[in-house]
Amino acid sequence: MHETKDRQITVALPKNEDRYQGLLDNLEAGIVVHAPDTSIVMNNFKASELLGLDNEQMMGKKAIDPAWKFVDLENNTLSLEDYPVNRVLTSKQPIKSQVLGINSPMFKDVVWVTVNGFPIFSKTGDFSEIVISFFDISARKLAEIEAKSHKDILEEMIEVRITELIERNKVKHYDNDFIKKVRGFVLENIVVDGFCANTLADKLFMSRSTLQRKLKRESGLTAAQFIRIIRLEKAHYYIQNNSHRTLAETAYAVGFSHAGYFSKLYKEYCSEKVMSPNSLLLQKTK
């Protein structure tokens, strides 16, 4: 009786192992199981793919192994104590959502991942295994980097444009920190429905009259003109980069509710930038 059960268990174990390995290999997350000395005892296919090593190369490797290195969000080499497995080992606590880059000789670019990990303890309370999971977020990370690059370029364009208009208005001494703060608030709230001089004043903890007086003194522009310039400059950037399929989409993206009105202002704005210092933008705003 017992011998029959033992044979059944012996036959079932390899099947179960194959089954679980099959499940692991079909996960989108990379899974690595470490022994208490951080050596790898098991991994799935996705982990091999993300770390740039095949299964045979992975087995037995420790966190200290030079086959790969991790980098932080600033692309600085991660210290060994900050490696996910070592963090779990030191704290004896799970880790969640650690973002890092994998820099392997196999890859031309850094592979960005979010990492979770947890310890498994034996009955005696000692470490039995440490399980680490990796989820590829490279596409999202690259999109964030690209978005930041666009944001930096746009802010520089707007700064140049505002400075040009300040100089044109012959404002010799202006509070650059104030202008920068106003510019930042406008950019952050540009698509907010109904964003205007009143809401800008509220953001700056100023009355509308105080804002108008200070902004006119520091830039030669009213608050409405200042907001409109930033909206149109951002629209100009979008149009140059083919960011939207239609003019209406661009108009809505920079806070205009009517595409026809936006189109009229944008044409005048482009003409003013190239030719005339006496554009609608420097006239009294409706």
Query: What is the rounded distance in angstroms from the CA atom of residue 267 to the CA atom of residue 152?
Result: 25
What SS3 state is found at 41? strand
Query: What is the rounded distance in angstroms from the CA atom of residue 264 to the CA atom of residue 278?
Result: 16
Closest to 130 in 3D by CA, of 39, 67, 26, 16: 39
**What is the CB-side half-sphere exposure of residue 127 using CA atoms within 13 A?**
21
Q: What's residue 20's pLDDT?
A: 53
Closest to 73 in 3D by CA, of 114, 132, 38: 114
Q: What's residue 99's pLDDT?
A: 92
**In the block, residue with structure tokens 């907010």:** 192
**In this structure, what DSSP letter does residue 78 have?**
P
Q: What's residue 70's pLDDT?
A: 87
Q: What's residue 65's pLDDT?
A: 62
Q: What's residue 281's pLDDT?
A: 42
Closest to 63 in 3D by CA, of 41, 86, 96: 86
Q: Alpha carbon of 267 to those of 264, 271, 281: distances in Å?
A: 5, 6, 12
Q: What's residue 94's pLDDT?
A: 94
Query: What is the rounded distance in angstroms from the CA atom of residue 8 to the CA atom of residue 172?
Result: 91
Task: Show me where the domains of the chain are located.
Answer: 2-136, 142-282
Q: What's residue 27's pLDDT?
A: 67
Q: Does domain 142-282 have CATH number 1.10.10.60?
A: yes
The residue ranges of the chain whose pLDDT is under 70 are 1-27, 60, 62-68, 104-107, 143, 146-147, 149, 172-174, 193, 273-286
Which amino acid is located at 142 in the chain? L
- What topology is assigned to 2-136 in CATH? Beta-Lactamase (3.30.450)
DSSP secondary structure, 88-150, as one string:
HHHH-S-EEEEEEEEE-TT-SSPEEEEEEEEEEE-TTSSEEEEEEEEEE-HHHHHHHHHHHHH
Task: Flag whether the pTM goes above 0.75.
Answer: no
Q: What's residue 273's pLDDT?
A: 67
Query: What is the rounded distance in angstroms from the CA atom of residue 17 to the CA atom of residue 243?
Result: 50
